[in-house]
Amino acid sequence: MIDPSHIEDGTEGDDHPGDDRLDGERLPYQLRLFVAGASVNSIRAITNVKHLCETYLAGQYWLEIIDVHQQKQLAEQQQIIALPLLVKRLPLPERRLIGDMSDTEKVLKGLGILDESV
Amino acid sequence: MNPTLSRDSKYPLVALPKTRTGIAGLDEITGGGLPKGRPTLICGSAGCGKTLFSMEFIVRGALQFGEPGVFVAFEEKSEELAMNVASLGFDLKQLQADKLVKLDHVRIERSEIEETGEYDLDGLFIRLGYAIDSIGAKRVVLDTIENLFSGLSNQGILRAELRRLFEWLKEKGVTAIITGERGDGTLTRHGLEEYVSDCVILLDHRVDNQISTRLLRIVKYRGSVHGTNEYPFLIDEDGISVLPVTSLTLDHDVSAERVSSGILALDKMLDGKGYFRGSSVLVSGTAGTGKTSIAACFVNAACLRNERCLYLAFEESPQQIVRNMSSIGLDLQSHIDQGLLTFHASRPTLNGLEMHLIAIHKLVRELKPRLVVLDPITNLVTVGSMSDVKAMLIRLIDFLQTEQITVLFTALTRNTIVQEQADEGVASLVDAWLLVRDIESNGERNRGIYIMKSRGMKHSNQVREFTITDEGVDLVDVYLGPEGVLIGSAREAQQLQVETGVALRDHAVGRKDREIERKRLVLESKIASLKEEFESVQEELNKSYIEDELRKEILEKNREQLTRQRHKEE
């Protein structure tokens, strides 16, 4: 039911309008972090992702943080089960990382910053 | 559990509220359905019908009980699921459009997911909560939630989250079904039974003698009495039907009404009125003794009374039976055309005994016949052992008697020893037992019928000869001759003899009269010939006498002449 094209559609009309977004979409790293409200895991994940991005991808990434509680229909559209969920939309291939992103090495591998074979 | 106690107490005892599943038979075993507002675990090995079971729960809830439902599929895609159940007449697309059912396919692929620390299943909670709220669902199915275990590796988190999920479902007040694949020695592979403890139903698919039977068992039902047996169930074009086996009591209503057997002389043997309505009748006999004909006569009579009949044929096709019975003057086709008679022919090996039983149940519920015929029950032995068949028939008779349906079984016996036939067990269950036998003597084979038993009525103890002719089936009074009971052509000969006895005697008398007459005639002719002889002798004698006279006259004349001449010469 859900294919990648739908994912694009599903977020097109989201409330992130403005030039920021248009600018951000030109950046090489397109990241989206889904969280569930202000749970412990959510807060930890946000902190960890922000920290990693600033450390390794400064100026090259666009991070969108979405609270699934606010947009419940997204859960089905995006095949969300476990939270927090970090989706790397670009560069391809798309990757999905779950957890509070405390395992830095795994996150970096998942984002393609660190070579996976290492 | 003291009733006075409950009445006096401030809070009266409230029975566990239940949600009807709408699955035929299941609500009877569970005493009203699944526990309302609680999760139920349905487990079983692959292909035992878990998904279908839970889908039927959702669809029936939406259609029959006005309870919308959410179906979360962890295995099949929504489209596949819709296609799979379309064969049962469930239009999921329409149901979804009507906001009665919501399908959600949860796809989880371990290779696509990297675990990077602590996480929870909030996503699933939000997703499910949203689905429930969007249609106001009262029912939820999670099929098969165990797939999460293959998608996510952190068992500790998963288990804690599942426990939380089931608690959350209870809080939501939805009646949920959680399916689980059967594990080795455990009910489910990942021990879901630990979390879902209110009601556990086990589905099984067993193959015995190459015949498969689906079985359902309620392993546990907290706070409710339930049937504990293994109940066979059937999946067909109407979905699942579970067979609630016997009611264990024997207290069904009985009827004093009598129904004709369709054979006048047989009715006479049965106290002049025939069988009781709602009773069970067994007709047994060796091959070719006319069991089917007796059954067909009964059916024919019932149809002529405008009663609906169901004929379950396990040996012949309906066309065959109709053709064969038309040869003895029974027009079954017209009853079929009028919709009074329904044939259901199936090979016994088509499915297991239980399946046959369920099929019969379904047909009976559907058609509501007054008479059911099973022809012959002995063929069912090819599917199960004798005791299985007996158990099945007990249940069938029980069911039919509570519905006040008369049932007639035919049974093929391979020998003529009564004791061995009784071993088949059915004989003790039925209310009336007719035995049709071959009686062989004088180089011919005849049929004899007698009533082994007939509960609750006077019945003839006589063996009757049973004849099948173009005009139908009839019983002939046996003929008692000087040499004992006579049957067949011996009887006819004897009858002929008696009828012609008088004629023969008359004939004999006549012959003696004629003999005398003949003797008289002979004598008379003898007398006549003797007379003739006498006359000819007399004539002969007279002739010589006349000649002598003539000669004497002539000599006299001659002498005179001579004398005269002499006188002249002188």
**Cα torsion angle, B361, B347, B395, B266, sign:** positive
Return the amino acid letter for B476.
V
Judge: B126–A80 Cβ closer than 8 Å, yes or no: yes
Taking the C-alpha atoms of B314, B318, B321 and B322 in order, what is their torsion angle to the nearest 10 degrees?
160
Q: CB count, 10 Å around CB of B120?
A: 23
Burial B48-60 (b: 16+ CB within 10 A, else e): bbbbbbbbbbbbb
C-alpha distance from B367 to closest chain A C-alpha (Å): 43
Query: B144 and B55 in contact (C-beta within 8 Å)?
Result: no
Q: Which of B77, B114, B122 sits opposite A83 (nearest CB)?
A: B122
φ, ψ for residue B313, nearest 5 deg: -105, 125
Query: B156 and B117 in contact (C-beta within 8 Å)?
Result: no
B chain contacts of residue A76, beta-carbon cutoff 8 Å: 104, 127, 130-131
pLDDT at A118: 53
Which pairing describes strands B371-375 and B309-313: parallel, antiparallel, or unpaired? Answer: parallel
Query: A99 and A48 in contact (C-beta within 8 Å)?
Result: no
Interface of B with A in 135-174 (CB under 8 A): 148, 151-152
Q: What is the pLDDT of residues A49-70, one digit of tens each?
A: 888 888 888 888 888 888 988 8
Question: Is the domain covering A27-98 a CATH 3.40.50.2000 domain?
Answer: no
Query: B48 and B185 in contact (C-beta within 8 Å)?
Result: no
Q: Is the pLDDT of residue A3 over 50?
A: no
Q: Which of B104, B120, B130 sits opposite A82 (nearest CB)?
A: B120
pLDDT at A5: 37
Q: Is the pLDDT of residue A10 over 60?
A: no
E strand segments, B149-277? 175-181, 199-208, 211-221, 230-236, 239-242, 258-259, 275-276
Q: Which of B116, B117, B123 sits opposite A81 (nearest CB)?
A: B123
Query: B514 and B507 in contact (C-beta within 8 Å)?
Result: no
d(CA B330, CA B298): 11
Judge: A107–B148 Cβ closer than 8 Å, yes or no: no
Tokens for B476?
């002939």
Q: Is the pLDDT of residue A21 over 70?
A: no
Mean pLDDT by 10 residues, chain B (570 residues): 46 78 84 89 87 91 92 88 85 90 87 84 90 92 86 86 90 91 81 81 83 84 82 81 62 80 86 87 84 90 91 89 89 90 84 78 87 85 74 81 86 64 65 84 81 85 82 76 71 79 84 92 94 92 91 91 82
Taking the C-alpha atoms of B208, B211, B214 and B220 in order, what is their torsion angle to the nearest 10 degrees?
-10
d(CA B89, CA B538): 127
- Name the one residue in this structure whose structure tokens are 């004849």: B467
Burial B260-274 (b: 16+ CB within 10 A, else e): bbbbbbbbbbbeeeb
pLDDT at B417: 54
Q: Which of B120, B126, B131 sits opposite A41 (nearest CB)?
A: B120
Query: A51 and A101 in contact (C-beta within 8 Å)?
Result: no
Judge: B113–A39 Cβ closer than 8 Å, yes or no: no
B104 touches chain A (CB under 8 A): yes
Tokens for A39?
């749970």
* Nearest-Cα residue of chain A relative to residue B158: A82
Please report, for chain A, the start and end positions of each structural domain, with discontinuous segments joined by +. Answer: 27-98
B106 touches chain A (CB under 8 A): yes
Say yes or no: ipTM exceeds 0.85. Answer: no
